[in-house]
Amino acid sequence: MDIAQERRLVTEVPGPKSRELLERRIVSVPRGVFYTAPVFVEAASGAVLRDVDGNSLIDLGSGLAVLNVGNAHPAVVEAVRDQAGRLTHTCMHVTMNEPYLALAERLNSLVPGEGARRTMLVNSGAEAVENAVKIARYFTKRSAVVVFDHAFHGRTQLAMTMTAKVMPYRYGFPSTAPDIHRLPFAYPYRCPMGGTSPEACAESCAAYAIEEMDKHIGPETIACVVVEPIMGEGGFVVPAPGFLPRIADYCARKNILFVADEVQTGIGRTGRWFGIEHEGIVPDLVVMAKSLAGGLPLGAVTGREDVMESVHPGGLGGTFGGNPVACAAALAVLEIVEREGLLERARRIGDIARSRLQEMAARFPIVGDVRGRGAMVAIELVEDPDTKAPAKEAAGRLIEECYRQGVIVLKAGTHDNVVRLLPPLSIDEGLIREGLDVLEKALATVEERAPVSP
C-alpha cells in the first residue's frame, strides 16, 4: 500500500475507533500482553503507520526493532507473495525447501569471521537464544551460562532466566533453568564498580567479571557467555570501550563460547551488519531474529561449523523453523539492506538523531545521557543530573505525549527511564527530523512538570 511518508493527524490519538478496539481487547486479551500506545494500525508503509482512525503516525520504534527496511517494503511483500503462491510450508524435518538453504548460505557468509559456518533457523529471538545455549552446552559438555546485568534474551523459561529485569519479565514466574550466572555490565553512565571514566568502568567491570568466572563459577564449567553488543531492552547501554574485548579474550583463552545476541542490534541497526563488529570480536555463535525477515517471524543461530555440527542428527529443530515464506522475506531484506545502502543510512540517521538529542540534553537537565550506535539511539531521563535518580514517570509521560502528537517512540531501561529510537533505516531525513521536533516539544512539556529539586 502506498502511504504518504508524512505525519498527519485527523483525530486525537487514540481516536474513537482505536478506543473501541481497545475496549474489545480488554475483554479478550490478557493485560499481561502489554502495549506502548493504545493505537490500532490498519496499514503501514516505510516509516509511517496509518491507524484505524486515519491518522498517519511516524514510526520511530519499528515494531520493536523489526522493521529495519521499513514496513511492508514492496520487495518483501513481493517475495512473500511469490513464495506463498508456491508453497507455504514443508517442515525441514519432512521434505526440504530451497529458501532455508539460500538463507543459511547468506547468513554463513554475512556473520563476522573467516572460518566455515552453519545456520539453523527458528521462529523467534527467544527460540534462537535457547538453541544457541543448547548447542554451546552440547559442544563444550559444560553447563554454566554467563549473562549480564540489563540483559534481555526472551520470555521462554531459559531465555527468561537469562533476562536480568525481574519486573515485569521474571516476577511470579519461578524458573527451573539451572546454572545461569549474572555479572555486572560496563555501563559507563552508571558504572556498577564506581568507575568515573569509561576506561575505568571497562577495566573495573572486566576485572570483576573475570575474577567471578575464575573464582566462583569456574571457567571449566562455563559453556558460553551470552551478551548483547548493546543492551537493547536494558536501555541501549553501549558497553564502555574495551569491556567486551576483554571478556571475549578471556573466553577464547578458557574455551568458553562467545555468543552475540544480535536480535536487536543485528541486520544493520548499528551501521554495521552486526553490532559486535564495532568491538572487533568474532563471536562463536550469532543469534538473530527481529529485523531478519522484515516483519515475518524468523530467528537464526549462525555459528562455527565445528560447534554447530557437534549435535547429533535430530537434536535440533522444530515444526515451523525456517518457514519458506519467512525465509523468502529474509532474503529480500538482506538484499534491500545492500541495495539501498542501509548500513550507511543507519549511520546518517543516527548522527542526525544523536546531534539533536545532544542539543536537547544541553537544554533540558532531565536528559542525563544520550547514547547509542548507528540508528539505535536513546536518552536516559533523570530527576537530577547529580544524583541521576531515574525519572521513570517522566519517561512514561514523554512516550505518551509523543504518540498523542503522532510519533511512536519506545521505553527501555532497567529503571524504565530510557526513551529509545529505532526508526526504520530507510526513513526520510525530513521525517526523522520532524519526529525529533515532536520529541523536543514533548520533552519541554514533561520537563515543565518534572519535580523541581529544592
- Window 62 to 91, contacts with ligand PLZ (CB under 6 A): 64
Establish if 373 lies at the interface with ligand PLZ (CB under 6 A).
no
Among 68, 124, 302, 405, binds ligand PLZ (CB under 6 A): 124
Binding residue (CB under 6 A) for ligand PLZ from 59, 130, 149, 233: 233
Considering only 19, 106, 134, 155, the residue that binds ligand PLZ (CB under 6 A) is 155
Does 228 contact ligand PLZ by CB under 6 A? yes
> Closer CB to ligand PLZ, residue 53 or residue 233?
233
Could you give the 3-state DSSP secondary structure of residue 266? coil
The span of 20-28, 150-158, 187-195, 362-370 binding ligand PLZ (CB under 6 A) equals: 150-158
The owner of cell 546518517 is 348
Distance of CA 413 to the CA centre of its chain: 12
Residue from 103, 129, 223, 399 binding ligand PLZ (CB under 6 A): 129
**What is the Cα–Cα distance from 111 to 125, expressed in whole angstroms?**
17
Residue placing its CB nearer to ligand PLZ in the complex, 110 or 129 = 129
Rounded-to-integer distance, Cα 434 and Cα 321, Å: 39
Relative to beta strand 222-227, strand 257-261 is parallel
DSSP track, 238-259: PPPTTHHHHHHHHHHHTT-EEE
Beta-ladder partners of 420 = 378, 410
Angstrom distance (rounded) from CA 230 to CA 84: 35
Residue 416 binding ligand PLZ, by CB under 6 A:
no
Q: Are 122 and 353 in contact (CB under 8 A)?
A: no
Q: How far apart are CA 248 and CA 146, in angstroms?
A: 12
Chain length of the chain: 454
For ligand PLZ, which stretch binds (CB under 6 A), given 108-116, 151-159, 190-198, 397-405? 151-159
Using CB under 6 A as the binding rule, whether residue 399 contacts ligand PLZ is answered as no
Write out the binding residues for ligand PLZ, residues 21-50 only, by CB under 6 A: none
Q: How many CB atoms lie within 10 A of CB 454?
A: 3
Query: Please, which residue, 55 or 264, has the CB nearer to ligand PLZ?
Result: 264
Residue 154 interacting with ligand PLZ (CB under 6 A) = yes
Residue 419 CB, shortest distance to ligand PLZ, in Å, is: 16
In the complex with ligand PLZ, the residue whose CB is nearer, 164 or 436, is 164
Select from 125, 294, 374, 423 the one that contacts ligand PLZ (CB under 6 A).
125
| Least spacing, CB of residue 274 vs ligand PLZ, in Å | 12
Beta bridge partners of 301: 120, 287
302 binds ligand PLZ (CB under 6 A): no
Contact flag: residue 153 with ligand PLZ (CB under 6 A): yes
369 touches ligand PLZ (CB under 6 A): no
Decide if residue 261 touches ligand PLZ (CB under 6 A): yes
Which residue has the closest beta carbon to ligand PLZ?
Answer: 125
Distance of CA 429 to the CA centre of its chain: 22
Concatenating the DSSP letter of every residue in 31-66 gives TTS--SSS--EEEEEBTEEEETTS-EEEESSHHHHT
Residues of span 278-297 touching ligand PLZ by CB under 6 A: 289
Burial of 273 (0-12, 13-18, 19+ CB in 10 A): buried
Residue 69: name the closest of 332, 264, 374 by CA. 332
Residues engaged in binding ligand PLZ (CB under 6 A): 64, 124-126, 129, 152-155, 228, 232-233, 261, 263-264, 289
